[in-house]
Amino acid sequence: METWIEAGRVTVNGKVATIGTRVMPADRLQADGRDVRLASTAEPARVLIYHKPEGEIVTREDPQGRETVFTRLPRLRGARWLSIGRLDVSTSGLLIFTTSGALANAMMHPRFEVEREYAARIFGKLSDEQGKLLLTGVTLEDGSAHCASLIDEGGEGSNHWYRLVMTEGRNRIVRRMFESVGFTVSRLIRVRFGPLQLPPRLKRGQIEELQPAEVKQLLGWVERPAGAARKPLRRGGVQQ
């Protein structure tokens, strides 16, 4: 289906669909001008949040035999877990998994600019000029990149922590940005992805599943138009 969408052969309500286009039960979905019926018996979307430890890789199988995040996930019948974004082997923190391809596409597609928030530890401290460069833009081998926000969170000794927000998820983007201004990130933790935050109670290697009401509100969050106010969703009392 993704190949058909990329070829412009799929429409929703008469408009050419793109990867990430939301399709609701009342919408008219067509492929090559023919109506496509959506299965009304489809299982509701499920969402997991996982505290990834360092050392695990985000892939289903690894030729080197390293442990992957997928080995910890609950088994499914008739569906599979999709990772919403990735983290490199040395990065820990929040990973989100879902059974909904539409939700995964909506949260990962670059045009939606969904925020990713990180805590980064470096050896040393950024100068004012280096901080401004990270905010205004640095040049990398695959194009320019910048932080949406950057907060100095202090530190002890030679180690210094920064809290930063990105609106894209290119490979090793945070590490490469700090390297471009002369610093190596010694520890990197993703603490938020879109509206979902890493709960303090969720220890490394642990998994929690969102309740159906929380999944419903998450789906509502991604359906909001660009520019609409978006608040974090809170576990055990979800707010939009």
Question: Residue 76 belongs to a domain with what CATH number?
Answer: 3.30.2350.10
Looking at the structure of the chain, the number of domains it has is 3
In the three-class reduction of DSSP (H, G, I as helix; E, B as strand; rest coil), residue 133 is classed as helix
Report the percent of the chain where pLDDT is more than 70.
Answer: 87
146 falls within a domain = yes
The widest CA-to-CA distance across the chain, in whole angstroms, is 66
* 132 and 187 inside one domain: yes
For residues 22 and 217, the model is more confident at: 217
| Span of 100-109, 127-136, 174-183, 222-231 with lowest mean pLDDT | 222-231
Q: Residue 40 — pLDDT band, cuts 50, 70, 90?
A: very low
| Span of 27-36, 73-82, 92-101, 166-175 with lowest mean pLDDT | 27-36
Residue range 181-207, pLDDT digits in tens? 999 999 999 999 999 999 999 999 999
What pLDDT score was predicted for residue 42? Answer: 59
What pLDDT score was predicted for residue 240? Answer: 34
Q: Using CB atoms within 10 A of its CB, is residue 8 exposed (0-12), middle (13-18) or buried (19+)?
A: exposed
CA 229 to chain centre: 19
- Domain extent, residue 24, equals 2-35
Residue 35 to residue 5: CA distance in whole angstroms? 15
Q: Residue 69 — pLDDT band, cuts 50, 70, 90?
A: very high
What pLDDT score was predicted for residue 237? Answer: 37
**Is residue 142 among the annotated active site residues?**
no
* 67 and 177 inside one domain: no
227 falls within a domain = no
* 102 and 52 inside one domain: yes
* 71 and 82 inside one domain: yes
* 90 and 136 inside one domain: no
83 falls within a domain = yes
DSSP state of 102: H
Residue range 86-102, pLDDT digits in tens? 999 999 999 999 999 88
* 106 and 120 inside one domain: no
Q: Based on C-alpha coordinates, what's the Rg of the chain? A: 20
Question: Residue 29 belongs to a domain with what CATH number?
Answer: 3.10.290.10
* 126 and 71 inside one domain: no
Please compute the mean of the pLDDT values over residues 101-111 and round it to a whole number: 87
217 falls within a domain = yes
* 51 and 119 inside one domain: no
* 70 and 83 inside one domain: yes
Q: Which of 27, 32, 88, 142 is catalytic?
A: 88
* 200 and 168 inside one domain: no
67 falls within a domain = yes
Residue range 204-224, pLDDT digits in tens? 999 999 999 999 999 888 877
